[in-house]
Amino acid sequence: MAQVEAERGLCKENTQPLREGLAVTGLHLSHQEGSCHAAIQQQRQAFELELHMYTGDDPLDIWDRYLKWTLKTYPQGSKESSLTAMLERAVQLFAHDKKYYDDPRYINLWINLAQNSMEPLEMFSYMQDNGIGLTRADLYIAWAEEFEKHGNFQRADAIFREGLKCRAQPMDKLQQYHNGFQARVAHQAWSATEEEPEPARTSMVDLRPRGRKKAVAPVNRTEAAGHSRSLNLQLPRRSARHIQKNPILGFNENQADSLQAAQLKLEPWMAPPSSRANENQVMSEQLADIKIPQKSWCSASSVTVPASRLNFQPFVEEGDQTPSVSACKIDPAVNTVLSDRPPPSKEESVLEEGGGGGVKEQSMYLKELLLNGAVELSIEELRAEHYFARKRQEIEETIQQQSQAKERLRQQIDEKQRLLQLQQSQQRPQLSQQDDTGTDSMQITECRSGTVLPSSQPNAMAFQIFDEGSQSGSAHGSGNPIPCEKDMCPDDVFLPAGDRGLCFKTPYPFPGGSIPLSERTQLSKNFPERTESLNEEVVSGHKNKTLCSSPEDTQDFVKAAKMASSPYHAMGQRAVSPNAGILTKEPSITPQLDADSDGRKKLSPIQEASLEAWGSMASGPTSASSVCTNSGGKAVHHLGRLKDSHAEPHPEAMDQNSPCIQPVIEDPCSVRVRQRLLDQVDLSSFPNFYSEDGPLPMAEEDGVLILGNDTFATYSKMDYENFSIYAGQGGGDVAIKLERTPVPWDFYIGSQLRERLARDSQAPVHDAGRCFLFQDGCVTVHKASQQSTLREVAEESFEEIVASLAMQTVELVRLMHSCHLIHGALSPDTLVMNRHYDEPMDKISAAVALDFSCSVDLELQPEVTAAHILPAAQNFITQDLLAPSASPYQVDLLGIAETVHTLLKKRTMRLVKEDSMWTLEEYQEARPSDRSDAFWSKFFRTVLNPGDRPSVSVLTELLEDMKKSTFACYGA
Amino acid sequence: MSLFGTSTGFGAGGFGAATTDTHNPMKDVEVTSPPDDSISCLAFSPPAMPGNFLIGGSWANDVRCWEVQDNGQTVPKAQQMHTGPVLDVCWSEDGSKVFTASCDKTAKMWDLNSNQAIQIAQHDAPIRTVHWIKAPNYNCIMTGSWDKTLKFWDTRSPNPMMSLQLPERCYCADVVYPMAVVASAERGLIVYQLENQPSEFRRIDSPLKHQVTGFTYQHRCIAIFKDKQNKPAGFALGSIEGRVAIHYINPPNPAKDNFTFKCHRSNGTNTTTPQDIYAVNAISFHPVHGTLATVGSDGRFSFWDKDARTKLKTSEQLDQPITACSFNNNGNIFAYASSYDWSKGHEYYNPQKKNYIFLRNATEELKPRNKK
């Protein structure tokens, strides 16, 4: 602090005094510019932003605060403060608004401008002539002080009197200043008299005016010499009276009036005098409408165009011509148009050089908005500010929501903990009971998704080939100067350009048979979904739409682009290449690369289209290529429909053509098939099924959803490919899944699971939730006691917890398979942990699936006899992990492997084949001594290599093994 | 129905449904799946690429790529996202990469073959312009930002090869090797030479300066034009107030050769009512004829012959401003984007209003008069 004070001391002489005193903070800021520069800039930015964004009816308020801030922040009036520019702009901004003319804040702006200008007196005169601040004492005080600085006491006094005459408010303040002024004058006169006897005086200090201008010494000392030395300085009135007797300093009313007339009634002003002398300073655009007598004190006031004073009306652009230019390059022989100033013809107007000769103009953009602040903005900057302001607001809202959700959760946790304690006290007697009654206490019900990752995520867990070709890719990725994780899909980075590992799918058969080759290559690769945010809208809003069918539907872009994969769909051949799926440590890099370049070359061999060609295209009814694309378009259309029935995780699977199977087997997961299947089932006989008339109700985050007789509050929303899940409340916490297809397949599968499990008294009870079917969609409501998806749980857990999650997943699949149901799309994002807080630690219950949209009921769909029929299997088949003829159940085993691996390693699997057994790269050389290695190695070997054994027995055995292992933290 | 079901060619009209609309009064071909918010920039693929690919950046934070087929049909190819609005795009000269500049203060390199995008530049404020520079001894990306710097990036390093201070925020820029020009806020105008390494060549007083009053209008768009030897000769600078300046770098007779002309104004002939002046949103030079196109807030595009100093054509008025335009590499196609440019501020923004990109046959209409 002492140092700061010292610093201040060093430069405080430069500090301009403020009437209300200087804020210490501001002073300190100004003295520590280096460190506080950013803070100041930020504050300034805030003011600017406020000015540009202000929509209220008193913008002057901001200016007023801005001015005060500037004065405090830049007490030395540094150039950086751009005080003058700011004042000029502010003053001009309100010049058209008479209501501000007597506003003390506006007058304050003017006074500050005047005091910071080169010619303050001119400014004051201008104000007076334009009726600005005539009723404000401040004007007269400042004005008089200015005269006083210049030593012109006579006029200063005249100004004071003028103010008093106008009854400028506050009167007593004016009077007080006037008195003070008179006292000073008297004193000066007196001291002048006193000093008179010493004509040889060397110092003029006392007489130097206080202003920054060196004015002439004001007092005619010889005239003052006659005054009595006994003037009583305590009595300003008296002294003033004395002074009045002085022929020059003296004052009498009549004389004053004439003086005023002479001095103050100048010719009318065109515009405020410029406050600056530097001609290169840009004048505000606002001034485009008025003429500023720039540099009027030194020259060229003749330039001033006589516009009406302060006329902010359209501006006459007379001088805007460049006569020297207009004469040039005109070839009279050729040109009939290029006369110097031709009447602009409609068709062929000459570029009018400069001047339009007296055409009034008005700007059709929001000039005021751009120029509102002291700094001009471009349209884009304004828009960006608006964008950022909105974004900030959104973020704040999100934070608020999250804190609310957190609070809710905390309350729940407290409650559960209380219950848990309660339960623990009763646990022992209950335990013995449970052994008798089996699994009564186990409920496979309350599945919940708190914050499930958006649908674009599933790709992340797709399988991947470990590929040495990826080294370059990863090297590039790691060499990436600015690591920006969100931009780099981890599953992309490790693959050669364009490759998505096992993400690419064997194309699904087109019902119509073959598709054009061009389409096939287009379909070959996945679109990098991570980079899209439009996905959600696509999903929720635009179903069953033809690709690019209508220009109105911009959402189609994503779909279309998805099929197009990379712009140059360079990897076109890859998907149909028989080698593509082989998992080896030495993938066929070279052929792939060749394929790349080939694909690239083959790409869009568009001839240089001449105009003629286009013309003929236009005239011909249908060109060959458009036929081609149209047929492709139809095929795509069909695909789009197929796709709708698939939520995830690999909807792309459908978009592909499988070369290895016979054509025309209907997708067992398509909406149409399911609709047909459900027609055979009397859903209304199922408990908790409600069929509602009318369309799907609107659901939104933090809204209310009324379903049947129940009302649910909805909170956070997670969007998936074909559905959304809301966290909600209504008779306890629930998860509400909204689907846009009126096919309650999820509920059907859930109900089947419940029914079939019930056949076995040993099996746990499954709750299928409640289902509300609407005309255009359906809503499934699950009780949800847990907020976390498996991915979220695993995110911050030890391997032991993951082992538990793995067991829950295995248990779920085991239960489903025992009921002849195939899940089809296991994913850490749609599985929810099912351990209640109050549940005994030693029970393993099945994870809860929030999504059955890829599920198949083999009792209802006996035609599904082999894995290749399932869309979800295509991925695995391509990798050779799964034989096309394998049991469809095996799809889920691989799904388990994929899911658990994602939970465990947070990345996709890299598989290697050893002695005809698949294993994971990281467990290839597992040390048997390491418990973790041993556990997982065995786990993955089992699920990846089920052989021909029935999946239920594989899973049962696996589960037993896992339970026995001491590794899993709550294995029995 | 398929948009191109009946295969309409360029300029042939025939969009049955659209004829009564004012959104496409010129009956040009609509690009399928246009962005969901205002289109800020358009760029066609360079000559090195076979075929035509169009890149468009938007305020919806996305950059999209379409293939424009020779019958005018457009096929959406891919898109990339930024975390803020995209303000500018450019191509590498071999057409394999696209560079994008965004309000999220980053620039990205989008490899179209792999469809991957990585960040290659960072500024302290939104990046307004991005340009690819191919010099004999170096290649780099030039980014101009509202943080008042101009930076040059090797795409492999996190640090710029060079950073030049601008007097003000960068508003627009153009590059034609060996020349770059940057126009900034407060009427700054700087020409750079790029040989050996970028360096400031000359600061120019804004040619948009009013001859008498000295008022200058905000710079809004700039485009370099070439001389007969295909070397950059000067630039066209568009202002926020319906005026374009043609400025030569080293003209034989500056007073004669440099000039400004008015454009994008209403009531051109009527002197009794005030003339409405609109912003010039973009300028693009025809790659073959050297004529230029301007597009404005008034929802019109105009074609001009700067050498003959004549206007070649003005379009009908669209129902929205035209925010961006671009010629393809051989000058056959003129692409222009119709969307709100924010020129009247937030109140006039209608998010429901659809945006369009149109393609027009540009060969004939941009031929200079009295030639050949």
Tell me the range of A161-175, A324-338, A382-396, A649-663 where mean pLDDT is highest. Answer: A382-396
Q: What is the pLDDT of residue A47?
A: 81
Q: What is the pLDDT of residue A344?
A: 39
Mean pLDDT of chain A: 62
Q: What is the pLDDT of residue B15?
A: 41
Residues A935-941: contacts with CB under 8 Å, at least 24 apart: A935/A803, A935/A962, A935/A965, A935/A967, A935/A968, A936/A904, A939/A806, A939/A900, A940/A897, A940/A900, A940/A901, A941/A917
Q: Identify which of B126, B255, B364 has the shortest CB distance to residue A384.
A: B126
* Residues of B in Cβ contact (< 8 Å) with A353: 259-261, 309
Lowest mean pLDDT among A120-129, A347-356, A410-419: A347-356
H helices within A438-579, ranges in order?
A: 470-479, 490-493, 517-522, 535-541, 556-564, 572-576
Q: Hey, is the C-beta of B93 within 8 angstroms of any chain A C-beta?
A: no
Q: What is the pLDDT of residue A467?
A: 42
Question: pLDDT band at A359, cuts 50/70/90?
Answer: low
* Residues of B in Cβ contact (< 8 Å) with A282: 186-187, 216
Helix A890-905 / helix A951-964 crossing angle, nearest 10 deg: 30
pLDDT at A32 over 60: no
* Residues of B in Cβ contact (< 8 Å) with A285: 215, 217-218
Contact A378 B171 (CB under 8 A): yes
pLDDT tens, position by position, B109-135: 999 988 889 999 999 999 999 999 999
Lowest mean pLDDT among A568-572, A958-962, B225-229, B327-331: A568-572
Rounded CA separation A76/B316 (Å)? 56
Q: Identify which of B80, B253, B277 has the shortest CB distance to residue A363.
A: B277
Give the percent of chain A with pLDDT over 90: 3
Q: What is the pLDDT of residue A442?
A: 39
Contact A348 B4 (CB under 8 A): no
Q: Identify which of B103, B115, B370 has the shortest CB distance to residue A334.
A: B370
Q: Hey, is the C-beta of B344 within 8 angstroms of any chain A C-beta?
A: yes
Nearest-CA distance B139 → chain A (Å): 17
Give the residue from A285, A291, A271, A212 showing the smallest Cα distance to A17: A212
pLDDT tens, position by position, B22-54: 889 989 999 999 999 999 999 999 999 888 999
pLDDT tens, position by position, A828-840: 877 777 655 455 5
Say which residue, A72 or B303, is predicted with more confidence: B303
pLDDT at A594 over 90: no
Q: Residue A931 belongs to what H/E stretch?
A: helix A931-944
Question: pLDDT band at B164, cuts 50/70/90?
Answer: very high
Say which residue, B233 or A755, is predicted with more confidence: B233
Residue A379 structure tokens:
């349209």
Q: What is the pLDDT of residue A78?
A: 62
Q: Which residue of A has its CA nearest to B87?
A: A380
Question: pLDDT band at B152, cuts 50/70/90?
Answer: very high
pLDDT at B232 over 90: yes
Say which residue, B167 or A879, is predicted with more confidence: B167
Q: Identify which of B70, B259, B273 has the shortest CB distance to residue A325.
A: B259
pLDDT at A139 over 80: yes
Nearest-CA distance A419 → chain B (Å): 44
Nearest-CA distance A268 → chain B (Å): 20
Cα separations in angstroms, A33 against A6, A39, A66, A70, A233: 15, 9, 19, 14, 45
Q: Which of A351, A503, A598, A611 to mutate to test the interface with B (most CBs of B within 10 A)?
A: A351
Contact B115 A565 (CB under 8 A): yes
Q: What is the pLDDT of residue A192?
A: 66
Question: pLDDT band at A624, cuts 50/70/90?
Answer: very low
Rounded CA separation B33/B49 (Å)? 23
Contact B59 A383 (CB under 8 A): yes
Contact B71 A314 (CB under 8 A): no
Q: Which of A52, A55, A325 to mutate to test the interface with B (most CBs of B within 10 A)?
A: A325
Q: Hey, is the C-beta of B241 within 8 angstroms of any chain A C-beta?
A: yes
3-state SS of A825-839 is: CCCCCCEECCCCCCC
Q: Hey, is the C-beta of B279 within 8 angstroms of any chain A C-beta?
A: yes
Rounded CA separation B172/A535 (Å)? 33
Q: Identify which of A283, A321, A604 has the shortest CB distance to residue B51.
A: A604
Q: A163: phi > 0 → left, psi -120 to 50 → alpha, else beta; which?
A: alpha
pLDDT at A369 over 50: yes
Say which residue, A344 or A43, is predicted with more confidence: A43
Question: pLDDT band at A464, cuts 50/70/90?
Answer: very low
Q: Which residue of B has its CA nearest to A361?
A: B275
Contact B268 A349 (CB under 8 A): yes
Q: Hey, is the C-beta of B215 within 8 angstroms of any chain A C-beta?
A: yes
Mean pLDDT of A38-57: 76
Mean pLDDT of A336-362: 46
Give the residue from A517, A607, A615, A621 showing the smallest Cα distance to A569: A517
Mean pLDDT of A113-141: 81
Which ipTM score applies to this complex? 0.90
Q: Identify which of B62, B87, B187 has the shortest CB distance to residue A282.
A: B187
